[in-house]
Amino acid sequence: MKYDILIAGVGGQGVVLASRLLALAAMKTGFHVSTAETIGMSQREGSVSSHIRIGDKVSGSLIPIGQADLLLGLEPAETVRNLPFLKEGGKVLVNIHAIPPASRPPGSPEYDPAALLSFLCAYYPDILCSDFTKLADEVGTYRAANVAMLGAVAGARVLPFQEEILKAVLDAEIPEKYRAVNDAAFERARKCIRSVSGT
């Protein structure tokens, strides 16, 4: 078994926490795991991505081009930026809530999220998308968009472990004062994706 997940977003969106939760769930299931993330300047509104490799054995922590089974995009432009990592027929889950760059240095292309989303859909017609930031905000805080997206992939049944295990990891890892809102975001996204995909 080998399953590679790439999470892409912007500094502050909770990419690292989401990857930790997935890695722990994979370990609890009995797989080896390896994650790679860049911590440093990227936290300051820069692009952040985390590679999570799960399997009976794992090699280096960086996913090669065209090998990711799942791409979790917390933001449209960052999803497109990391699309070459996804394999043909891989799954994409994208948060359509766009975060424009803080400044537009001369030469930086215009940000058109709608165009990027249709680009994504052209290559991956069965893409799963929603405004997870809005969904999280509705249940308590926009900051839980990352956990909402984990709920969505659990609901879509694309992960190589059971959603109960992921849920248990979530409960163990998230500090108590934030647990209720994260639980709510997870549940709501899980149900809404399940009704969309009809499973």
Question: Would you tell me which residues interact with other proteins (CB under 8 A)?
Answer: 10-12, 19-20, 23-24, 27-47, 58-62, 64-67, 77-78, 80-81, 83-90, 100-111, 115-116, 119, 123-124, 142
Write down the least CB distance from residue 37 to other proteins, Å: 6
Does residue 158 contact residue 70 with C-beta atoms inside 8 Å? yes
Contacts of 190 (CB under 8 A, 6+ apart): 151, 152, 154, 155, 163
- Please tell me the distance from the alpha carbon of residue 102 to that of residue 48, in angstroms, as a whole number: 15
The single residue listed with the structure tokens 């889950």 is 93
Would you state the structure tokens that stand for residue 107, as one six-digit string?
């030469």
Write down the least CB distance from residue 136 to other proteins, Å: 12
**Shorter beta-carbon distance to other proteins: residue 157 or 172:** 172
Write down the least CB distance from residue 90 to other proteins, Å: 8
Q: Is 2 helix (H, G, I), strand (E, B) or coil?
A: strand
CA nearest neighbour of 124 among 68, 86, 67: 86
- Please tell me the distance from the alpha carbon of residue 60 to that of residue 76, in angstroms, as a whole number: 27
**Shorter beta-carbon distance to other proteins: residue 67 or 194:** 67
**Shorter beta-carbon distance to other proteins: residue 173 or 187:** 173
Write down the least CB distance from residue 158 to other proteins, Å: 17
Q: Is 127 helix (H, G, I), strand (E, B) or coil?
A: coil
**Shorter beta-carbon distance to other proteins: residue 83 or 155:** 83
**Shorter beta-carbon distance to other proteins: residue 87 or 194:** 87
DSSP single-letter state for residue 85: G
Write down the least CB distance from residue 61 to other proteins, Å: 4
**Shorter beta-carbon distance to other proteins: residue 47 or 197:** 47
Q: Is 105 helix (H, G, I), strand (E, B) or coil?
A: coil
Write down the least CB distance from residue 12 to other proteins, Å: 7
- Please tell me the distance from the alpha carbon of residue 92 to that of residue 83, in angstroms, as a whole number: 9
